[in-house]
Structures are given as structure tokens and as C-alpha cells.
Amino acid sequence: MPKDEDRTHEEKSAPAATDESSEGTSGGSPPRVTVADALADFVQMFVDYVRQETDDLVKEKVVRPAQKAGQVVAFALAAAGVLFLGVGFMSAAALLVLADLMGWTAALTLVGLVLIACAGGFTYLRMKRMQR
């Protein structure tokens, strides 16, 4: 029986056998980094960098100019709406005044001709300016 006691004593005093794969993950030594892990980290870092740079580039070159253009168009539409409303009221007032002086048929014809002439003149000037 002394052999059994020696065997248990030897088992208690012997260090535990460990695998090399589990050695790097526990204890005080840092984990081993494989080439595949390093390559995956590099690719992820590159992808993050490219994503950030393209995001900044798109914001600078596309989004901001589009926002400015949208604001200009919105303002132009609002101004055009107010202008058309004013032209409509002025036309109605001119029509009422001219109807008393020369009759409805002549007043409608005169107001219509003035509106058409103004629209044609502004269109001609705008097209001439755009061709420069």
C-alpha cells in the first residue's frame, strides 16, 4: 500500500499537463496573434478608414452642394408663387379699371396682351443671358 500513497503524492505535486493551444489564452502571457488574425484586423482597419474617408468626401462634394441647391430652388419657388399671386391681383385690378373705361372685351384683351408681352420679354432676356 505504500505505493498507492506515493502515487497520490506524486500526482498532487506534479504540475498539471496543459495544451499549447490553451497556454496562450490563460495565465500571464499574452494571447498569440496569428497571421490570419493580423490580416483580418488590417483589412477591417482599412475598410473602416475607406468608409470614413468616402463618407467625408460624399458629405463635402455631394450632400452640401445638394442642400444649397435645394435651398435655392425652394426659395425661388416661394418667390415665384408670391410673384404670380401679385401679378394676378394686379391684373384683376387693372381689368376692373379698364373695364369701366373701354369695356370688358377690350380690357381683357389689353391685360392679356400685356401679360403675354411681359412673359415673352423676360423669357427672351433670360435665354440671352444663359447663352453667354
What are 104-120's pLDDT values in tens digits?
999 999 999 999 999 99
Beta carbons of 97 and 89 less than 8 angstroms apart: no
pTM for the full model? 0.49
Residue 36 C-beta-side C-alpha neighbours within 13 Å? 0
Cell of 114: 400685356
What are 36-86's pLDDT values in tens digits?
888 999 999 999 999 999 998 998 999 999 999 999 999 999 999 999 999
